[in-house]
């Protein structure tokens, strides 16, 4: 259920409404918006009567939300969510490009790639310190040492850091370094982890699970929002299908569908989506054409030497070419690229 109020509603009236919600055994969430103030109600709302709230002072409208996910739904908030990360906006008119290697490998590698990306005008550096690998014998990431390197590179180049949180025990140390905490595909339904990351208040990049539906993805985002953290960026990274000629099947259908049902921004990760470096630019363009708010792309200064996902990583010159093409495409979908 959703209660709509004028933006200038006195605090006293807001608190009275919230008290009544809590007294009925439900949770009240103030939802930020630019034209209206909304209070989302979660919990067993079947016991609530709309009219009990309609008669309260300052209440303009009371609406039932029909989807299983509530706080992240378009019904709850009509306008798109725009997230401000140290002055860079995600979800607005400007496309967001997150780029970098799959993993932090060593000092020289991450500094070299960060320098290249900074010179190309990139504001978000991605790189995993904790890596979820299908095989226990594959490179698992530099872990704490990787986080230290990310902290150094952030200081040197002023880039926003996007890095994955694999398990709840590392939440504090990852949150200290990350400007955006990534929750990977394999953890999309690790609900304890989602609650933990929600509590940090940090922006979360939530990647779609390997066999998750769009509804599953939005319900996982709801776990984070239920912690009163609305700084959530969704990411389409491909799903498992019967097709074996590509690593995954990049389900670009999800982009306009998510836009219809949710106010959250969505990025496309064509690198994991197709898994073939030379085909990544085509799917990156397709993602933007489908209406994504930006891209997450794996870039490595020497893809052939990468310790993980080298085959799908772009070399800097290919990445630069792609950026130039994206600049031409952006205005077609009413976006800009700086």
Nearer to ligand PEP, 71 or 268 (CB): 268
To Mn ion, the closest distance from the beta carbon of 131 in angstroms equals 8
Q: Which of residues 114-153 bind ligand PEP (CB under 6 A)?
A: 128, 132
Q: If binding is defined by CB under 6 A, does position 259 make contact with ligand PEP?
A: no
Among 77, 247, 263, 272, binds ligand PEP (CB under 6 A): 272
Q: Determine which residue in the list 100, 141, 146, 184 makes contact with ligand PEP, applying CB under 6 A.
A: 184
* Shortest distance (Å) from residue 1 CB to ligand PEP: 34
HEC states along the chain?
A: CEEEEECCCCHHHHHHHHHHHHHCCCEEEEECCCCEEEEEEECCHHHCCHHHHHCCCCEEEEECCCCCCCCCECCCCCCCCCEEECCEEECCCECEEEEECCECCCHHHHHHHHHHHHHCCCCEEECECCCCCCCCCCCCCCCHHHHHHHHHHHHHHCCEEEEECCCHHHHHHHHHHCCEEEECHHHCCCHHHHHHHHHCCCEEEEECCCCCCHHHHHHHHHHHHCCCCCCEEEEECCECCCCCCCCCECCCCHHHHHHHHECCCEEECHHHHHCCHHHHHHHHHHHHHCCCCEEEEEECCCHHHCCCCHHHCECHHHHHHHHHHHHHHHHHHCCECC
Q: Which residue is nearest to ligand PEP (CB)?
A: 184
Only segment of 37-45, 213-221, 286-294, 306-314 that touches Mn ion (CB under 5 A): 306-314
User: Would you give the distance in Å from CA 175 to the centre of its chain?
Assistant: 15
Cα gap 272→62, rounded to integer Å: 42
Query: Which range touches ligand PEP (CB under 6 A), out of 112-120, 166-174, 184-192, 260-268?
Result: 184-192
Number of residues that bind ligand PEP (CB under 6 A): 9
Please, are residues 270 and 305 in contact by the beta-carbon 8 Å criterion?
no
Select the residue interacting with ligand PEP from 29, 70, 237, 301 (CB under 6 A). Answer: 237
**HSE, side-chain direction, 13 A CA sphere, residue 327:** 9
Looking at the Cβ atoms of 72 and 185, the one nearer to ligand PEP is 185
Of the ranges 62-70, 95-103, 237-245, 316-324, which one interacts with Mn ion (CB under 5 A)?
95-103
Partner from Mn ion, ligand PEP, none contacting 92, C-beta within 5 to 8 A by type = none
Residue 40 touches which of ligand PEP, Mn ion, none (CB < 5 to 8 A by kind)? none
Stretch that binds Mn ion, among 102-110, 231-239, 283-291, 323-331 (CB under 5 A): 102-110
Output the smallest distance, CB 99 to ligand PEP, in A.
12
Nearer of residues 71 and 250 to Mn ion, judged by Cβ: 250
Tell me the window of 180-188, 191-199, 250-258, 282-290 that interacts with ligand PEP (CB under 6 A): 180-188
Which residue ranges make up the site for ligand PEP (CB under 6 A)? 102, 128, 132, 184-186, 207, 237, 272
Which residue ranges make up the site for Mn ion (CB under 5 A)? 102, 309
């Amino acid at each position: 259920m959703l209660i709509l109020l004028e933006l200038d509603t006195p605090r006293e009236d807001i608190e009275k409404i919230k008290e009544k919600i809590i007294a009925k055994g439900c949770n009240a969430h103030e939802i930020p918006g630019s034209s209206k103030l909304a209070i989302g109600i979660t919990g067993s709302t079947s016991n609530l009567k709309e009219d009990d709230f309609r008669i309260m002072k300052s209440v303009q409208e009371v609406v039932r939300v029909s989807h299983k996910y509530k706080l992240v739904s378009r019904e709850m908030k009509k306008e798109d969510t725009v997230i401000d990360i140290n002055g860079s906006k995600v979800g607005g008119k400007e496309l967001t490009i997150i780029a970098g290697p799959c993993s932090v490998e060593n000092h020289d590698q991450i500094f070299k790639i960060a320098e290249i990306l900074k010179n190309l005008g990139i504001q978000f550096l991605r790189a995993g310190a904790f890596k979820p690998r299908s095989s226990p014998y594959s490179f698992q990431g530099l872990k704490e040492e990787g986080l230290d390197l990310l902290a150094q590179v952030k200081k040197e180049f002023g880039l926003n850091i996007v890095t994955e949180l694999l398990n709840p025990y590392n939440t504090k140390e990852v949150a200290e370094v990350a400007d955006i905490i990534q929750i990977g595909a394999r953890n999309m339904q690790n609900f304890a982890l989602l609650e933990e990351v929600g509590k940090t208040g940090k922006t979360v990049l939530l990647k779609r699970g390997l066999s998750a539906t769009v509804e599953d993805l939005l319900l996982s985002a709801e776990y984070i929002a239920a912690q009163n953290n609305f700084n959530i960026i969704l990411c389409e990274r491909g799903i498992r299908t019967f097709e074996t000629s590509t690593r995954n099947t990049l389900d670009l259908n999800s982009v306009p569908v998510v836009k219809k049902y949710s106010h959250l921004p969505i990025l496309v990760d064509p690198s994991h989506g197709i898994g073939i470096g030379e085909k990544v630019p085509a799917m990156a363009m397709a993602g933007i054409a489908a209406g994504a708010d930006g891209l997450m792309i794996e870039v490595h200064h020497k893809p052939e030497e990468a310790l993980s996902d080298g085959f799908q990583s772009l070399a800097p010159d290919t990445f630069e070419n792609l950026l130039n093409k994206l600049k031409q495409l952006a205005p077609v979908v009413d976006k800009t690229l700086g």
